[in-house]
Amino acid sequence: MRPSILLGVLPLAQAVRIVQSNDDGWAEINIRTLFDDLNAAGHNVILSAPAEQKSGTGSSDAAPTVVDADGCIHNSCPGGSPPTGSNATNPRLNYVNSFPVTSIKFGIDTVAPKIFNGAKPELALTGPNVGSNIGIQAPFSGTVGAATYAVKTAGIPAIAFSGWSGDPTAWDQPTPLHSQIYADLALNVTSQIVASGAPYLPTGVWLNVNFPEVSATKCNNVNQFKFILSRVNWGIFSSKDTEWCGSDRLPTETDVILKSGCYASISPGDADDKTTVDAARQKLVLDKLKPILSCLP
């Protein structure tokens, strides 16, 4: 199923160099579907993600080791494969037998210079994670850990995407509806950030984006979704948020995801502590995303 969104392909002038990673593994269908969408939109993309399932590993980082006897996730590489490796025919697709942070670091330091002729990635995209990363879950997520690493250590603006629905699925299976919808929505947010111009995000900021449930009967079409500017956690004791939708307090990711309807949350996060960023930088993100944002009813 091809998404309607691809009919409006980006002009090539807006193509950017992107590094992708996740914590579910390089051969997970969510990340591969987004890889395909980004390529179809004309972007210059590399993928560098864990050889195995590495959910819940936060910001862990360790030298990659030889792949165990079982091989990479979903049998995507043989047992005993080297610590890092590429798809035999596509050097843009890479596995790293270690953590999400180690994987994106390898993508930035080792794969990018080769594929991008020495140039640095302009944007880091992680996920879409299999399962939500909302509020207090976020700091434990490897998908979030990889995004905040890109921002903090490499100075590359980053967006972490997560989707409520679906189970781990191999890259070579038929694309599930939720994977296609989450990839199309992720491309929409990415296109808006790119169209807003460099710097794509304020210094030290990453975006935590969560997509709601998708099923055959619920939120089954990309046109049904609305994007909501949110905060990672409750702000009861925090200073005011940026003024938006008639309030100085943004809804939490939990408020957005539990609202009936097809609402996706976008939280501007601080890469240092993985929580909500200050109002001044929220405002900069708001101005960039305004064309695609709605207010939560």
Ligand X SMILES: *[C@@H]1O[C@H](CO)[C@@H](O)[C@H](O)[C@H]1NC(C)=O
Which residues bind to ligand X, rule: CB under 6 A?
5, 8, 27, 76, 87, 89-90, 93, 171-172, 188, 225-227, 292
Nearest distance, CB of residue 136 and ligand X, angstroms = 27
Angle between helices 177-195 and 29-40 (to 10 degrees): 50
**212, 262 contact by CB (below 8 A):** yes
User: What is the edge-to-edge ordering of all strands in the sheet holding 93-96?
Assistant: 84-86, 93-96, 44-50, 17-21, 123-130, 158-163, 205-211, 263-270, 226-229, 293-294
Buried b (16+ CB within 10 A) or exposed e, 68-102: eeebbbbebbeeebebbbbbeeeebbbbbbbbbbb
Whose Cβ is closer to ligand X: residue 90's or residue 203's?
90
> Minimum Å distance from CB 32 to ligand X?
8
User: Shortest gap between Cβ of 251 and ligand X (angstroms)?
Assistant: 17
Task: Output 184 or 270, the one with its CB closest to ligand X.
Answer: 184
Distance of CA 103 to the CA centre of its chain: 14
Placement of tokens 């360790």 in the chain: 62
Residue 158 beta carbon to ligand X: minimum distance, rounded to whole angstroms? 20
Question: Nearer Cβ to ligand X, position 68 or 172?
Answer: 172
Least Å distance between CB 107 and ligand X? Answer: 15
Q: Where are the beta strands (DSSP E) in the chain?
A: 17-21, 44-50, 84-86, 93-96, 123-130, 158-163, 205-211, 226-229, 263-270, 293-294
Residues 269 and 275 sit within 8 Å (Cβ to Cβ): yes
Q: What is the Cα–Cα distance from 118 to 271, expressed in whole angstroms?
A: 25
**Residue whose CB is less far from ligand X, 18 or 151:** 18
**Distance in Å, CB of 284 to ligand X, minimum:** 20
Closest to ligand X by CB, 146 vs 187, is: 187
Q: Would you say 20 or 141 has its CB closer to ligand X?
A: 20
How many residues comprise the chain?
297
Residue pair 228/264 in contact by the 8 Å Cβ criterion: yes
Query: Residue 187 or 271: which CB sits closer to ligand X?
Result: 187
Q: How far is the CB of 263 from ligand X (least distance, A)?
A: 10
Cα 229 from Cα 279, distance rounded (Å): 12
